[in-house]
Structure 1
Amino acid sequence: MNDTIKFICDCCGKEHESWPALTYNSPNSYHNLSDQEKEEIAVIDSDFCVIKHPEHILRFVRCVLFQKVNDHCEDLEYGFWVSLSEQSFKDYLENFDNENHETQYFGWLSNYISQYEFAGSIPTTVVTKSGNERPEIFPHKDFDHLFVKDFYNGITKEEAEKRIQQMLKN
């Protein structure tokens, strides 16, 4: 694999190559807009996205999710977008530069992972962290979806590397 960083693992003491994070540049709702719609009704930067449809406004923030890998010392990191309510989005935006702001919001996962079938979105808990790190998301454990089961049960190193290779191809 290219674009990796070698490091000595705290877990096993062996040298590993660090995996790249699997990141999404935008929420699906933004990605699916026409170029004209992106220009006229949407605003996006590295942490926030707002889409102003005539009948409703969609608000998204960028978050991270760490997928447990059962037979490896390193987790697989995702950079996802999550939709928030107007109130939660406003609170997060107002406290974005506050290094001590720690809270939780309800959000909907707003990216689809190619290894899974999606009929709709997955409910998540968005947990802000001190130090201005991106919030971490946790899928709701009681939501019946294979992605949620894999999040809590873990995936194999082989599956993680397959996902990385697929993302690098795209």
Structure 2
Amino acid sequence: MAGIDFDCAYCGEHHRDTDGSASSPWPALAFRRPDPYLDLDTHARRFHARATDDLCVIDRDRGPDCYVRVTLSIPIRDEEITLEYGPWASVGEGSYLDYVEHYEDPDHREHYAGQLATAIPGYSHPFSVPVQVITRGMQRPVIVPDSTFGHALVRDFYDGISRTEAELRIRSMLLPSTPL
């Protein structure tokens, strides 16, 4: 396949023929909000939820649902590159409060139990995947799926995917959505 062209939301530049290398990286496949937030109606979003580009809380009768934006790297088999995702993970309230308290601490390193909270295209039932959310100071946390959990995402995380599959995933997410 030819390299991938895309307009970068981060730097505002148009990138041509990217190949995933350090000098010509692919775009990260980002998700603006966790899926449970997107499922809320307008009233619930306005009065029962708070969200930024990195943090989200939904107030529920049983207590808050808490989410943090994370990174997920899927290796490309036989290469030194990865496909980067920017999904969300749900974490417990105590973990969320600890993360927020140390949000600007460059030395903060912690592991939190969580669940994936973003439907990544190509994977069925991704919300069932348990993950470790690993903080990295002031960078977005990374997630590591539980290696013992039987799910295609877990397999891909540990075994990798082909370059062709990675390019197809990127191209499919870069396609403009069309109204029905």
Note the 1:127-138 alignment, pairs <5 A: 127-130=134-137, 132-138=138-144
Equivalent position amino acid for 1:157 in 2: R
CA distance in 1, matches of 2:34, 2:116: 9
- Paired position in structure 2 for 1:39: 46
How many residue pairs are counted as aligned between the two chains? Answer: 164
Query: Aligned residue for 1:145?
Result: 151
SS of 1:134 mapped into structure 2: strand
1:53 aligns with 2:56: no
* Residues 64-75 of structure 1: pairs in structure 2 closer than 5 A: 64-75=71-82
| CA spacing shift, 1:155–1:38, aligned 2, 3 Å | same
Normalization by structure 2: what TM-score? 0.84
- In 2, Cα distance between the equivalents of 1:63 and 1:150? 17
Task: Note the residue ranges of structure 1 that are not aligned, 5 or more in a row.
Answer: 11-15
Counterpart-to-counterpart distance in 1, 2:108 and 2:20: 33
Distance 1:106 1:164, change over 3 A: same
2:112 alignment counterpart:
105
SS of equivalent residue, structure 1 residue 76:
strand
1:115 aligns with 2:118: no
2:5 maps to 1:2:
yes
- 1:4-35 Cα offsets, whole Å, 9 max, x none, are 3769957xxxxx63100001111110011112
Question: How far is 1:157 from its partner?
Answer: 0.5
Is 1:165 matched with 2:168?
no
**What is the TM-score when the length of structure 1 is the normalising length?**
0.89
Write the distance in 2 (CA, Å) between the matches of 1:71 and 1:7. 14
Pairing 1:20–2:20 present:
no
1-structure distance, mates of 2:32, 2:133: 19
- Percent of aligned positions that are identical: 34
Which residue matches 2:88? Answer: 81
**In the alignment, is the contact (CA less than 8 A) between 2:116 and 2:126 conserved in 1?**
no
Structure 1's 162 and 119: CA in aligned 2 closer, same or farther, altered over 3 A?
Answer: closer
- Residue 69 of structure 2: aligned partner: 62
